[in-house]
Amino acid sequence: MSRDLLKYGLWFVLLFLLQVFLFREIERQLGWDYVQFFIYPLFILWLPLRVHEALVIFLGFLLGLLIDLVYNSPGVHASALTAMAFFRPFVLNWLQPREGYNVNMSPTLWQYGLNWFLKYISILLFLHILIYNISSFFTFYYWKDILLHTLWSFVASLICIWVFNLLFSSRR
């Protein structure tokens, strides 16, 4: 248990640092208006299934709040990641394989296969980015911009998370 706590604590810190120092800088350098890279939701997506739902929601809020402090975007990242953490058990229940889940494992590509993993990541990541953009614009008047930001950021983030998963996800 303490090894898992250390492992996921390191993932929390690593994904936070990657988001604020690498991906934020990439966004600035590229200067694309409609694209943002979100790697930090991977922390919530990779948490083992045995982690209590309330703790997942709290960790989502905490990580989102820390990202908000750096990005100077009060509550935007926190609301999006908290909502994603809240909907995670519903998506997991909906996508549950016939043989069920091994609650001691993290929901990764190597545990449940490509098809399942893409559905899981896509649903929750799209939800996260949509809520982020709605919170960021704070009005539906710019609904076209919200959709464009959401779609382009979703594609860019999905590719980043996919590559990150291939490089760092455990195959056991």
Condensed to tens digits (0 to 9), the pLDDT of residues 3-50 reads 878 888 898 999 999 999 988 888 778 877 778 999 999 999 989 888
- Domain extents in the chain: 2-168
pLDDT at 17: 92
C-alpha–C-alpha distance, residues 58 and 171, integer Å: 28
Check: CB of residue 107 under 8 Å from CB of residue 46: yes
23 DSSP assignment: I
pLDDT tens by residue, 109-149: 777 888 998 999 999 999 999 999 999 887 777 788 889 99
Determine whether 95 is exposed, middle or buried from the number of CB atoms within 10 Å of its CB (0-12, 13-18, 19+).
Answer: middle
The confidence band for 157, taking pLDDT boundaries of 50, 70 and 90, is very high
pTM of the model: 0.90
Residue among 128, 125, 136, 137 nearest 162 (CA) = 125
State the alpha helices, DSSP H only, in 36-113: 42-46, 53-71, 76-94, 109-112
Question: Mean pLDDT over residues 99-103, rounded?
Answer: 79
The pLDDT of residue 114 is 85
Over residues 48-73, the pLDDT tens digits come to 888 999 999 999 999 999 999 999 88
Over 90: is that where the pLDDT of 108 sits? no
159 vs 170, higher pLDDT: 159
